Amino acid sequence: MALPKDYADDRCSLARALEVVGERWTLLIVRDAFFGVRRFGDFAVHLEIPRAVLTSRLTALVAAGVLATEPGPHGHDEYALTDKGRDLWPVVRSLLAWGDQHYSQTGPRRVFRHAADDGIVTPDGVCAGCGAAVGSADLVVVPGPGLTAIPAREDPVSVALNTPHRLLEPLR
């Protein structure tokens, strides 16, 4: 028997949030959107997610106002985080840091730096260099020590994601 997708009669804000981002693959799609993935095919290749599942998750994220479709440069729609979606950055960053702390034996795969001064940004979103709270639009993601510990993937999306770049800027 399939589990329901909602928490009927639950007035808990966490339960309502999980109705939007709690299904398998959804937070990975949001993470990749922060990292600059915008095209359907790029999500599919990088996540190795079944296309039907990806279609379902993207449709739900657009319906919830987390992602919006925009015309891409080659005539195909692309997906971009909305303001509501960008508000998920502290959650995504915290889960990344938690995973690095508890499940990485070689260190984080990616490290976040403040674009203004190249300072390391701590898991709580503060630049170790200048002490400023750094939002997602002011972050550069760079390869971390844990990236070399896993086999390299050669697809264009993985190669682009493993190159220093600003968050939220589309990969091309």
For residue 82, how many C-alpha atoms fall within 13 Å in the half-sphere facing its CB?
10
Return the sign of the alpha-carbon dihedral for residues 72, 19, 88, 151. negative
Assess contact for 143 and 110: CB atoms under 8 A: yes
Q: Which amino acid is at 158?
A: S
Interval 122-172: pLDDT, tens:
999 999 999 999 999 999 999 998 887 677 788 889 889 889 999 999 987
Helices H / strands E in the chain, number of each: 7, 5
Best CA proximity match to 168, nearest among 145, 128, 134: 134
Question: In the predicted model, what is the mean pLDDT of residues 111-117?
Answer: 97
Q: Residue 75: its pLDDT value, please?
A: 86
Q: Residue 6: its pLDDT value, please?
A: 67
Interval 38-80: pLDDT, tens:
999 999 999 999 999 999 999 999 999 999 999 988 888 999 9
Best CA proximity match to 37, nearest among 71, 79, 91, 92: 79
Interval 90-113: pLDDT, tens:
999 999 999 999 998 888 989 999
Grade residue 9 by pLDDT with cuts at 50, 70 and 90.
low
Residues 15 and 133: their CA atoms lie apart, in Å, by 28
Q: Residue 36: its pLDDT value, please?
A: 96
Q: Residue 113: its pLDDT value, please?
A: 98
- The overall pTM is greater than 0.95: no
**Ordered domains of the chain (ranges, CATH):** 13-85 (1.10.10.10), 88-166 (no CATH)
Q: Which tokens hold the place of 64?
A: 């919830």
Residues 46 and 153: their CA atoms lie apart, in Å, by 9
